[in-house]
Structure 1
Amino acid sequence: MTLLKPSDRRERLEKIVTAWWRWYAALGALGCAAYFVVPTTVWGQSVFVLVGASAVAATVVGTRMHRPRNRSAWLAIAMGTALWVIGDIVYEWIHITQGSVPYPSPADAIYLVGYPVYGFGLFLLARHKWRPSERGHVANSAIIMVAFGLLTWVFAVQPSLGGGGISGTAGLVDVAYPAMDIFLLGLLAHFVGSRQWRTLSYRLLTVAVALLVVTDTVNNFAIVSDSSSDRSVFDVGWIMSYVLIGVAALHPSMRRITNPNIESDAHLMASFTTPTVVVLTAATLTAPIVMFIEVVRDEPIAQWGWAVLLCALALVVLVMLRITDLLRLLHTQTVQLRAVADTDHLTGLANLRALEHRLWGNAGESTLLTVDIDRFKEINDTFGRGLGDQVLVVV
């Protein structure tokens, strides 16, 4: 029997652990296919629940195995996912025992509790230490949330309420689901604007959240049937979201998802990238576009007018906040560039350009004192330019 060195055992264990996420991804893809292939709905929903439970187990195992610094974030994500799986089990149990599921049902309560728990984990994963530049990403998320909320309310929630107000538990649930999706969408916008985007685990988790929001939105707009007996192709969004959560937790890069310590100005600049500006511009135009559509459809203004008014007001305030941030950033960068242009990179003193500005910009008399270092060329030739530069700095 050959005994392995501790370093060899550790290397072999890391190779085994590294392969786990690939195996889980393959098994998850197989589970997604099996969900639509199995002959009965009961078997299909069993596969659905099994994939969700495996995502919870993978998240817990990955957290214990990789020991990330933000362990509480991953455990909150696992807990939120577990609540959704429990909701799936309760929903199917009611459907099997009673033949139909009332709306709302106890499963809806469990689902809705899972959203804030899951979102809290995402927030812990993406958050930075608060700094003035952090509000830029928060404002970006708020703009997207307001725009998406307006679209959801006017074209999904309000029609489902029959043009009336919120009445009864069913009406509250009809509003709660889109509200939770808006909440996740805001976190998703914060995810994409983060510097942690470089890690594969972070990107996988981002895609999982995006799939969840898209699938929920499709369901909110009543494109997908609410019946559990109808295994729609859009269900792949929910089941794939489960799989991606597990893969993200098992991937070794999850231990490197930490709160980055970056410069304030760099963080602020990251919230003004070209894709971000395009998305924010489209979100800002949501209010007038919705108004135009509703006027063309001749919908009563009493039903949608107040929603457009409130969202337009919120968007104006948020956009003014972003413009203020941009002007402050441009001023800061202008000052920094002027200082760089007038400073010698070696000594940190004023350079020839700064000297010219002082001489020609001074209306009074100026005095210039020149200092020469004797035998400086011999220092460079004998000891090299590196030591010569050090002599210049010391002098």
Structure 2
Amino acid sequence: MQPTARPAYVALGGGLLLCALYASRAAEPEGAVLYLLGAASGTALCCVGASRMPPGARHIWWALAAGQALFLLGDVLYVLIENVLGGDPYPSVADAAYLASYPALAAGLLWLVRIRQRGRQRAALLDAAILTTAMATAGFVFIVEPSAAAGGGSVLENVVAGAYPAADVLLLALLVQMFIAGMRANVASWALVGGIVALLVADLGYVASALTDTSHPAWIDLGYLASYLLIGFAAVHPSAQALSEPTPIRSSRSLARLAWLGAALILTPVTEFVAGQDADTDHHGSVVMLAGGCLIALLVVLRMADLVQQLQYKAVELAALARRDGLTGLANRRTWDYELSRVCDAARKEGTTLHIAVLDMDHFKRFNDEHGHTMGDMVLRGTTQAWADLVQGRGFLARYGGEEFTVLLPDMGLTEAEALLDQMRRAVTHDQTCSIGLATWDHRETPADLVGRADGALYQAKGEGRDRIVVSASDRPELAGSAPAPHSPAEEAPEARPAQTAP
């Protein structure tokens, strides 16, 4: 047991003691006082816990505390009307307080579901709406209408009798949605669930006693007391703060979500079938089932549209990842090959110039060995960011592989291309240097041959001392025949070239 959790357990023990005293004195005059003391202690615990919550989760627990307070107000009014004023507490103003507590509790549970699925609120709300509609339809046919019919002759009594089970169905649907959303299994979560379940069981017992026209037994009031205490205990327990943390998406929970939604979809036709076996089913039940079925169909369509939209977003993200290098964010080799082919085709049709440059970090393996790969990654990220700023709007930059990069420079003169590349050479970070090979397309050779000539110029720059730009000899007639034969980057990795490992 954590030391910080001890006050919560002490408070729970005190509340259980009040429950035991009430159970032994339920039939005595002081029984009502003990009941109200237990209810008030649970409500006070919930208020204390809500005041200690982080700002982002405080509204959840204040809503639950408001539900507790309204239910307590209903209990106080019920006791006053029955024991002090000698009147009939049902239906009365006490029922207004009782019924007002359910929306507050439902709001707290709904906010808890939404905050657990932060970033996926639309999906969570649609799932909750589908499940709630299905359960409300079945609840109306099998519980609400029979309860309303047993409420008495007046319209008010029928409305009040039917409102309680309708509110219970709403709480039950949200409780199930908590599990679908991925409830964090800790002391506070199980206490909160236990408190809501105790309330629902007590309400069910009360409805059953109303349907059978018998006085409700003492265990029903104990159920209400347990609900007060468990929700209050959940609020003050330290683990309550973890309930407001977003939950990650897990495949097992996705399967559970599909199972629950599938059950919700078949619940309405099952309800219609079962109700159809009863000859006493009236017109209202049929109308509710029709309306519920139509609403569920609409919600399912919206949910499918939401799923399709999510898949489209994921497809765009995956496509972007497939085109980009993970470390630098530049275009990768696959994207480079596509862009090179496209730009060559455009330059051939329009008769414009096109230059290709291959850039390679000097002695980068040595740098990694001396400073570590983490520092090497920093050099690559910082340098490529500077390069991207220089090339933006003027060319296309890609990571060709390892510490080798390529640049497309369309529609500019050779002098302008050399000036830009010299800026890039001087932009290398952390006192590193790079060598650059440059080639101009002759509109006849293949893109692969063009890259090969640029790589051959890079090889020459490495051999001449590095940290320089070398233009392919075939692009400068005065140097024709003096350059080494061009080769493809695929034929020899940069770190394997003799010129790159020279001091």
TM-score (ref. length: structure 1) = 0.77
Matched residue, 1:7: none
Matched residue, 2:364: 376
- Distance (whole Å) between structure 2 residues aligned to residue 164 and residue 57 of structure 1: 33
Matched residue, 1:249: 235
Matches for 1:227-306 after TM superposition, within 5 Å = 230-232=217-219, 234-254=220-240, 273-300=254-281, 302-306=283-287
> Secondary structure of the residue that 1:372 maps to in structure 2?
strand
Q: Given the superposition, is the C-alpha separation of residues 135 and 124 from structure 1 closer, same or farther in structure 2, using an over 3 Å criterion?
A: closer
RMSD: 4.1
Matched residue, 1:28: 15
- Distance (whole Å) between structure 1 residues aligned to residue 337 and residue 213 of structure 2: 76
Residue 138 (str. 1) matches residue 125 (str. 2):
yes
Mark the structure with the bigger radius of gyration: 2
> Secondary structure of the residue that 1:281 maps to in structure 2?
helix
Q: Given the superposition, is the C-alpha separation of residues 226 and 34 from structure 1 closer, same or farther in structure 2, using an over 3 Å criterion?
A: farther
Q: Which of 143, 156, 171 in structure 1 is aligned with 2:143?
A: 156
**Aligned amino acid, residue 327 of structure 1:** V
> Secondary structure of the residue that 1:371 maps to in structure 2?
strand
Q: Which runs of 5+ in 2 are unaligned?
A: 348-354, 385-503
Matched residue, 2:198: 211
**Aligned amino acid, residue 302 of structure 1:** H
Q: Given the superposition, is the C-alpha separation of residues 186 and 355 from structure 1 closer, same or farther in structure 2, using an over 3 Å criterion?
A: same
Q: Which is richer in helix? A: 1
- Distance (whole Å) between structure 2 residues aligned to residue 77 and residue 120 of structure 1: 8
Give 1:33 shift. 4.1
- Distance (whole Å) between structure 1 residues aligned to residue 69 and residue 251 of structure 2: 34
- Distance (whole Å) between structure 2 residues aligned to residue 257 and residue 342 of structure 1: 39
Work out whether residues 68 and 256 of structure 1, in 8 Å CA contact, stay in contact via their aligned partners in 2: no
**Aligned amino acid, residue 372 of structure 1:** D
Matched residue, 1:172: 159
Give 1:326 shift. 1.1
Give 1:146 shift. 1.1
> Secondary structure of the residue that 1:285 maps to in structure 2?
helix
Q: Given the superposition, is the C-alpha separation of residues 361 and 292 from structure 1 closer, same or farther in structure 2, using an over 3 Å criterion?
A: farther
Work out whether residues 343 and 349 of structure 1, in 8 Å CA contact, stay in contact via their aligned partners in 2: yes
Q: Given the superposition, is the C-alpha separation of residues 228 and 326 from structure 1 closer, same or farther in structure 2, using an over 3 Å criterion?
A: same
- Distance (whole Å) between structure 2 residues aligned to residue 21 and residue 99 of structure 1: 38
Which deviates more, 276-285 or 365-374? Answer: 365-374
Which deviates more, 379-388 or 50-59? Answer: 379-388
- Distance (whole Å) between structure 1 residues aligned to residue 33 and residue 231 of structure 2: 19
Matches for 1:73-152 after TM superposition, within 5 Å = 73-96=60-83, 101=88, 103-122=90-109, 133-152=120-139
Which deviates more, 280-289 or 369-378? Answer: 369-378
**What percentage of residue pairs aligned between the two structures are identical?**
32
Matches for 1:63-82 after TM superposition, within 5 Å = 63-64=50-51, 66=52, 68-69=54-55, 70-71=57-58, 73-82=60-69
Q: Given the superposition, is the C-alpha separation of residues 382 and 135 from structure 1 closer, same or farther in structure 2, using an over 3 Å criterion?
A: closer
Matched residue, 2:310: 329
- Distance (whole Å) between structure 2 residues aligned to residue 308 and residue 58 of structure 1: 41
Q: Which runs of 5+ in 1 are unaligned?
A: 1-13
Cα deviations across residues 204-245 of structure 1 (Å, max 9, x unaligned)?
A: 33442343234424543558977666213x554322211112
Matched residue, 1:61: 48
Give 1:359 shift. 7.4
Work out whether residues 147 and 211 of structure 2, in 8 Å CA contact, stay in contact via their aligned partners in 1: no
Cα deviations across residues 308-329 of structure 1 (Å, max 9, x unaligned)?
A: 1000000000111111111111
Work out whether residues 49 and 89 of structure 1, in 8 Å CA contact, stay in contact via their aligned partners in 2: yes
Work out whether residues 140 and 166 of structure 2, in 8 Å CA contact, stay in contact via their aligned partners in 1: no
**Aligned amino acid, residue 233 of structure 2:** V
Work out whether residues 41 and 231 of structure 1, in 8 Å CA contact, stay in contact via their aligned partners in 2: no
Cα deviations across residues 5-39 of structure 1 (Å, max 9, x unaligned)?
A: xxxxxxxxx95x64210112223334444443447
Higher relative contact order (CA 8 A, sep 6+): 1
Cα deviations across residues 249-268 of structure 1 (Å, max 9, x unaligned)?
A: 222344566586x9xxx78x
Matched residue, 2:326: 345
Cα deviations across residues 171-228 of structure 1 (Å, max 9, x unaligned)?
A: 1102322333244345545655667847754553344234323442454355897766
**Aligned amino acid, residue 284 of structure 1:** L
> Secondary structure of the residue that 2:378 maps to in structure 1?
helix
TM-score (ref. length: structure 2) = 0.62
Which deviates more, 294-303 or 145-154? Answer: 294-303
- Distance (whole Å) between structure 2 residues aligned to residue 89 and residue 27 of structure 1: 21
Q: Given the superposition, is the C-alpha separation of residues 167 and 247 from structure 1 closer, same or farther in structure 2, using an over 3 Å criterion?
A: same
